[in-house]
Amino acid sequence: LEAAVMCFLENGYHQTGVRDIATRAGVSLGNLYNHFPSKHDVLVEIAGLERDELAPFLKILAKTSPALKVLDKFVTAYAKYLAAPENVILSIEITSEAIRKPDIADLFLENRDLLTSSLTSVLSRGAADGDLRPLSDPSDTAQLILELIEGSAARSMLSGVPMRKILGGVRDFISAAVSPPDTAV
């Protein structure tokens, strides 16, 4: 899997063949096919790895601290993770393939749904506690927050502006969007 990810990062998903992955991994083509019948199956396993990588972010969102603090910690950690060049590239490669292959899309959307659901819970709890403004649809707001972070990470890589320089504005925007009106930044 590590060899496949490296090949996808260096050459792109569609430009990488199963033979390239086997060579990079230092295994025979037959041995690779014993574990993964196709390159598509490798991508299925990568979806499982992504789920594992989301665990620290889900743990942050599960904290019972004031919702705004949890949200700020999550945004900071998730943005730094997403802004790593290899994560931006792999995300674009996977998204491209997921658009073409509904089964791949479903796997990665399941991962996204876990994150969205956890973030929605924080927003709903925060509104119930008075820490955050009541939202007409916390799930939509959670989706928008994730999209803002993801888009900012991609912009950081494309523009060469470090995520740490973009992050302050992202955090301020999210805080202003969800804070009660009398406390908005």
Rounded percentage of the chain residues whose pLDDT exceeds 70: 98
What's the whole-model pTM score? 0.85
pLDDT > 70? residue 185: no
- pLDDT-based confidence at residue 78 (cuts at 50, 70, 90): very high
Q: Identify how many contiguous H helices and E strands the chain contains and give both numbers.
A: 10, 0
Lowest-pLDDT choice from 39-43, 126-130, 171-175: 39-43
Do the beta carbons of residue 81 and residue 87 sit within 8 Å? yes
Q: What is the pLDDT of residue 161?
A: 93
d(CA 185, CA 51): 33
90 pLDDT more than 80: yes
> What's the pLDDT score for residue 20?
92
User: Do 142 and 123 touch, CB atoms closer than 8 A?
Assistant: yes
**Residue 122 confidence (pLDDT):** 97
Q: Which of 41-55, 66-80, 111-125, 145-159 has the lowest mean pLDDT?
A: 41-55
d(CA 172, CA 185) in angstroms, rounded, equals: 7
pLDDT in tens, 15-61: 998 999 999 999 999 999 988 888 888 888 888 888 899 999 999 99
Helices (H), 54-137: 55-61, 67-82, 85-100, 102-129
Residue 153 burial (C-beta neighbours within 10 Å; 0-12, 13-18, 19+): buried
Could you give the CA distance from residue 8 to residue 87 in angstroms, rounded to a whole number? 11
Contact between residue 78 and residue 140 where contact means Cβ atoms under 8 Å apart: no
pLDDT at 94: 86
Q: Is the pLDDT of residue 148 over 80?
A: yes
